[in-house]
Copies of this chain bind each other. A is one copy, B any other.
Amino acid sequence: MAGDSDSKDNFADQLITAIFEKNSCVVVGLDPYFHLIPDTIKQKFSPSRKQALEYASRVILEFNIQVIDLIAPFVNIVKPQIAFYELYGWWGIWAYTETIQYAKRKGLIVIGDVKRSDVPSTAEAYANAHIGDVHVNHAVEVPFGADAITVNPYLGTDSLLPFIQTAQKHRKGIFVLVKTSNPDSGEFQDLTCGEKKLHEIIAEKTHAWGKDFVGKQGYSAVGAVVGATFSREISILRKIMPTAYFLVPGYGAQGATVKDIGYCFNPDGLGAIINASRSILYAYTVSPWKEKYGVSSWKSATEEAIVKMNKEIGTVLEA
Which A residues have a C-beta under 8 Å from some C-beta of B? 31, 34, 47, 49, 52-53, 55-56, 81, 83-84, 86-94, 96-97, 115-120, 122-123, 125-126, 128-130, 134, 136-139, 141, 143-144, 152-159, 177, 180-189, 191-194, 198, 201-202, 205, 249, 254
Contacts and interface: CB of A to CB of B under 8 A. Distances in A.
Closest 4 A/B residue pairs (Cβ): A156-B184, A156-B187, A89-B143, A52-B139
B137 A156 contact: no
Contact of A83 (B125, B153, B254): B125
Nearest to A47: B137
Nearest to A138: B49
A222 to B, nearest CB: 16
Given A81-B125, A93-B93, A117-B117, 5 more contacts: A89-B141, A90-B90, A115-B117, A115-B118, A152-B154
A203 to B, nearest CB: 12
Contacts of A155: 177, 180, 182, 184-185, 188-189
A116 B83 contact: yes
A136 B203 CA distance: 41
Number of copies: 2
A225 to B, nearest CB: 10
A249 to B, nearest CB: 8
A89 B89 CA distance: 12
A202 B97 CA distance: 35
A108 B136 CA distance: 30
A41 to B, nearest CB: 14
A122 B90 contact: no
A265 to B, nearest CB: 23
A189 B201 CA distance: 12
6 contacts: A81-B118, A87-B134, A89-B143, A155-B184, A158-B182, A198-B198
B156 A182 contact: yes
A185 B156 contact: yes
Contact of A143 (B53, B159, B191): B53
Contacts of A141: 52-53, 88-89
B154 A154 contact: yes
Given A115-B117, A188-B156, A198-B191, A130 B86 contact: yes
A83 B47 contact: no
Contacts of A118: 81, 83, 115
